[in-house]
Amino acid sequence: MGKTILITGSTDGIGLATAKTLSKLEHTLLLHGRSQHKLESAQTQLRDLAPECSVELYSADLSVLSDVESLASAVSARHDSLDVLINNAGVFVVPETISADGLDCRFVVNTIAPYLLTKRLLPLLSRTSRVVNLSSAAQAPVNPEELFKPSVQGDTAVYAKSKLAITMWSRHLADSLDDGPVIIPVNPASFLGSKMVKEAYGRQGGDLQRGADILVKVALEDEFANASGLYFDNDIGQFSSPHPDALDPTKNQQIADAIEQLLADQLATNG
């Protein structure tokens, strides 16, 4: 039976390649992007590939926390349940590091927005639903306090911290939620040829389909049904150990607590 699948950042790169792959499999695809123009272009590309494909479009800037809330509300208004959430949207180099909420845009898009979106969509996610979180081979230790303010560190450092942090909260939520969903952090493979990789490293990169194929597998295949909290490293094509910090439940909880605190602070400030 067709599944309902939300993919954030499906207007380009691995997210768009994933949507194209899924479009041929008779699922309902909820495409998210920050540009209406790019969303409509993605829809056209999917319809060219699979004319019968069921597609919905959702626009939200994930660097803005109120937009993340609006995205969750818009999806919840149209759906009672969601089979798969792929938290794919991410940034490496950004034009402006300070977000509209006074936070670090890179931490917001890569770590905090997917947490907030997942929490808000929990009522739609069943025990067997899956949340696929885009991690990376780049993972560096992050102090919980670092999430609260714009960082003066460079893009490479902040990116690696943001990707360890999403891996850590993925494991924390997987451990702490009794009734699912299945939450799996995934490195889709390094240096795949997206605009992110071209901008960050000035190189063409590998075949995006490699990343799309693993996301589709993690989202749908039986072998991942009992893998909640495990880290899949597609550089080696198997489950693997993430950075040692993500193997420490206390540290994972501290990251999740920091994000909860930050969201509560934002709510108190913005009403």
Ligand X SMILES: NC(=O)c1ccc[n+]([C@@H]2O[C@H](COP(=O)([O-])OP(=O)(O)OC[C@H]3O[C@@H](n4cnc5c(N)ncnc54)[C@H](OP(=O)(O)O)[C@@H]3O)[C@@H](O)[C@H]2O)c1
Angstrom distance (rounded) from CA 246 to CA 211? 22
Closer CB to ligand X, 63 or 228, in the complex: 63
Shortest gap between Cβ of 91 and ligand X (angstroms)? Answer: 5
Instruction: Supply the minimum distance, in Å, between the C-beta of residue 93 and ligand X.
Output: 9
Catalytic residue among 115, 159, 201, 231: 159
d(CA 105, CA 108): 5
Write down the least CB distance from residue 255 to ligand X, Å: 17
Shortest Cβ 194–ligand X spacing (Å):
3
CB of 15 to ligand X, least distance (A): 5
Written as one string, the DSSP assignment of the chain is: ---EEEETTTTSHHHHHHHHHHHTTT-EEEEEES-HHHHHHHHHHHHHH-TT-EEEEEE--TTSHHHHHHHHHHHHHH-S-EEEEEE----SS-S-SB-TTSSBHHHIIIIIHHHHHHHHHGGGEEEEEEEEEE--S------GGGGGS---S-HHHHHHHHHHHHHHHHHHHHHH-TT--EEEEEE--SSBSSHHHHHHHSS--B-HHHHHHHHHHHHH-GGGTT-TTPEEETTTTEEE---GGGG-HHHHHHHHHHHHHHHHHHHHHH-
- Binding residues (CB under 6 A) for ligand X: these are 9, 11-15, 33-35, 38, 61-63, 88-91, 109, 134, 136, 187-188, 190-192, 194-197
In the complex with ligand X, the residue whose CB is nearer, 2 or 195, is: 195
Contact 83, 4 (CB under 8 A): yes
Residues 6+ apart with CB under 8 A from 225: 128, 182
* Cβ-based nearer residue to ligand X, 97 or 187: 187
* CB nearer to ligand X: pick between 100 and 253: 100
Q: Using the minimum distance from each CB to ligand X, give the nearer residue, 12 or 83.
A: 12
Closer residue to ligand X, CB minimum distance, 176 or 241: 241
Residue with tokens 């969750």: 72
Catalytic site includes residue 115: no
| Distance of closest approach, residue 223 Cβ to ligand X, in angstroms | 21
Active-site residue list? 159
